[in-house]
Chains A and B, each alone.
Chain A
Amino acid sequence: MSAAEMMNMFSGGGRAKSKRSKFTLDISKFEVDIKLSIAHRAAQYLDWAAKNYPHQYTPYNLLLQALMGYERTPKLSNAEVTRLRSASGRIRKLLVEKYSRDLVVQPGLGPRATVDATDKLKMVMPKKAARLASARGQFVATANSIDPKLIPNTPEMAPMKDWFIRSVKDVVKQISSKEFEDKLLPPNTAIRP
């Protein structure tokens, strides 16, 4: 019996071992355009990954390696990786404008671009709706807390007071209704954003 077989025997060799699966990202096939900015390169990569590895999250360190063409994968705690992580806003903007996709970021796993309309509806829309619902609540709470009688009729504040009484009160009445809330929030299904 060889040493390797013995080691297998000791370590419970019956268990399945990791092999190169179809989900393993092969970033060497991605051709980076070095004329583009880092955020644009990231958007380009995510578009490429959405086509070749749909629904697959790319860790930020691997994303940086793909963008910069490094020989080795940097650590996740690398300062450059942290900088790339903070560029999500720019990447999302470019993805929407140039590639008509959206960005999905999973904490601890990494970002990916949406694959199709279903994916966008499933992963992005509920989050956006949740954000809008949250903003709506805050908007209504702030509007209800303001008493227009206490606002002085000075030349500076008069147009603002007029806007608040005529428009804001009207909008608050519309969005604070139960009907609007039901329309805004997604149905309670097994799908989680």
Chain B
Amino acid sequence: MIPETQSSACDELLAQWNATTSEKQRALLEQALWQTIPAEARVGMRRRTWLTNVTKDSACAVESRLTIFGEPEAAELWERVERDQMPLTTATERLKEANIVAAATGVPLAVALTARLKEYDTWPLHHTKRGQPFRKKPPSRFEDLSKVHVTPTAKSSRASDSDRSFWARLRPQLSDFAASRLKGADPIVAERLYREFERDLKVLFDEFQSRVFRFRSQAKTDQMLTVSIKFPQVQRACLALCMDHPTRGHPADLDKARIQKKKLARLYHPDVTGGDEGTRAKYEEALNAYSVLEDYNNQLKQVENL
């Protein structure tokens, strides 16, 4: 694989690679190792695969080192890797994010990278099984749409139809807006940003819908609670009419109430008793009780129609 003329230089570099523990040094040595191969021999070879075979290191680590090494402004990142024992994969991710932000906003990469690393410092600290410290990004407050399971009911399918039409109407405008704002950016970066923007907007829209639903149900409950006739009044009215009271939230039996009212009227009506004050009050109470039950039923109907 390695030409004979270059093998001695390669062995030296490999010996140096094994001796050092610095990641930056290893990246430099890996670059030098790759340079030892003549340009003709490199055709058809993949640098990462070759270096992984030669150094017997993991492909992920090699790629991470090469990615960071490819950016001349990533000196701060090397410091983090060497000094704070930041994992190489995390460092690569930070660098990629900084690249995206720099491309989208036009900020220099070094500044974007510093901001990314500052944000990284705020994340909660964890330790691997081997005791290596690392920081983990806290979970997003937005739900991951790819993991949301929608139950296929008749209602939800209707809602998703309207939702689809809503997005179909909104998407062209959104894409136009995004294109105007991300003019000159890397197309891949712009595409990714646009997808994220769309996802966030959809999450917000869903949240808005659920809040409206919750508000509506709350308003209905409040309406139930603030009706002018309370349930104890209904219970008292039923007691006055000597009948069973209805279940809470259900209409009263007006037919039975009418019969009871008639029975009481036969006993206490002024025409029957000759205008006795005591019986007149009882008769009026029966009438009031019946009107309370009527009003209660009307209220229930109104609340149901809300």
Which residues of A come within 8 Å of B, CB atoms? 2-4, 7-8, 10-13, 15-18, 20-21, 23-25, 55, 57, 59, 61-62, 73, 75-77, 106-110, 190, 192
| Complex CA distance for A110 and B243, rounded to whole angstroms | 10
Chain B nearest CB from A50 CB (Å) reads 15
> Would you call A11 and B299 a contact (CB within 8 A)?
yes
Question: Given A4-B228, A8-B228, A23-B282 in contact, is the A108-B260 Cβ separation under 8 Å?
Answer: yes
Q: Would you call B236 and A18 a contact (CB within 8 A)?
A: yes
Cα–Cα distance between A147 and B260 once the two chains are bound (Å): 50
Inter-chain residue pair count (beta carbon < 8 A): 81
Interface residues of B in 235-258 (CB under 8 A from A): 236-237, 239-240, 242-245
Do most interface residues of chain A lie in helix, strand or loop, or is the interface mixed?
loop
CB <8 Å contact, A7 and B226: yes
The reply to whether B242 and A11 form a contact with Cβ atoms under 8 Å apart is: no
Interface residue count on the B side (C-beta < 8 Å): 34
- Cβ contact within 8 Å between A108 and B239: no
Known interface pairs A23-B281, A109-B242; A18-B292 also in contact (CB < 8 Å): yes
Is B236's CB under 8 angstroms from A20's CB? yes
Taking a contact as CB atoms under 8 Å apart, the answer to whether B285 and A21 are in contact is yes
| A10-B302, A17-B288 as given contacts; A24 in contact with B242, CB under 8 Å | no
- Asked whether A18 lies within 8 Å of B259 as measured between CB atoms, the reply is no
Interchain CB contact under 8 A, B242 and A108: yes
Additional pairs, 20, CB under 8 Å, beyond known A17-B229, A18-B237, A18-B285 = A2-B226, A4-B227, A7-B302, A10-B302, A11-B295, A11-B299, A17-B288, A17-B295, A18-B240, A24-B236, A55-B278, A59-B243, A76-B243, A77-B244, A106-B267, A107-B263, A108-B242, A109-B242, A109-B260, A109-B264
